[in-house]
Amino acid sequence: MQRMTVFMSTTVVIIGLAMTAYSQYNYPPVSPAAQSQGRGVTGQLATAITHAGFAANGDSLGYIRQHLGHALNCLEGQGGPNFNRAWGNVCQGQGNGILADLKTTPGGAVFLRVAEHADSLAASGVKTAERAEARIAAKAVGALLTVIQDSLK
């Protein structure tokens, strides 16, 4: 119980920091040319957010892990250390992974830290034996990725 409380507290702090950064800084608008270059990352973000949402609303630990694994695979891409073929690559053909593609997307590099936190939460969420903890991780992953998605529009 104490471990889950610490996990939840940490997750809330990370989401709060991401939301504060998003609201306090005036990121420059992304030009139409830059948007076309970033299409891969925006598609991957949408897919990962969708699957994080499936996981956050899942009933069984297996279902939650499967969809959180989809989000994790989208974050890391096939070359990522936590990429797991068994979960399926729902972002296949959309890019090289959110973490990799943010580095080359105009305006995306400023959100790399937020994506790294989402990646860390997804990796811990798929490993936990606690259903509630996995669902919380999935909600946090979706929230963090939504901050990035909304900023790159």
Summarize pLDDT for 51-81 with one digit per residue, the tens.
999 999 999 999 999 999 999 999 999 999 9
Backbone dihedral region for residue 40 (phi beyond 0: left; psi -120 to 50: alpha; all else: beta): alpha
Position 107 pLDDT exceeds 90: no
Q: How many structural domains are present in the chain? A: 1
pLDDT at 146: 97
Confidence of residue 39 (pLDDT cuts 50, 70, 90): low
Residue where the block lists tokens 């420059």: 28
Q: Looking at this protein, which amino acid is placed at residue 132?
A: A
Confidence of residue 10 (pLDDT cuts 50, 70, 90): low
Please answer whether residues 70 and 45 qualify as being in contact, where contact means their C-beta atoms are separated by less than 8 angstroms: no
Q: Which of 134, 140, 119, 145 is nearest to 63 (CA)?
A: 134
Cα distance between residue 68 and residue 16, in whole Å? 21
pLDDT at 40: 83
| CA-derived radius of gyration, the chain | 15
Q: Which residues of 101-125 are buried (b: 16+ CB within 10 A; e: fewer)?
A: bbeebebbeebeebbebbbbbbbbb
Please answer whether residues 83 and 76 qualify as being in contact, where contact means their C-beta atoms are separated by less than 8 angstroms: yes
Please answer whether residues 137 and 9 qualify as being in contact, where contact means their C-beta atoms are separated by less than 8 angstroms: no
Position 9 pLDDT exceeds 70: no
Position 23 pLDDT exceeds 50: no
Q: Find the domain containing 147 and state its range.
A: 2-152
The model carries a pTM of: 0.78
pLDDT at 66: 97
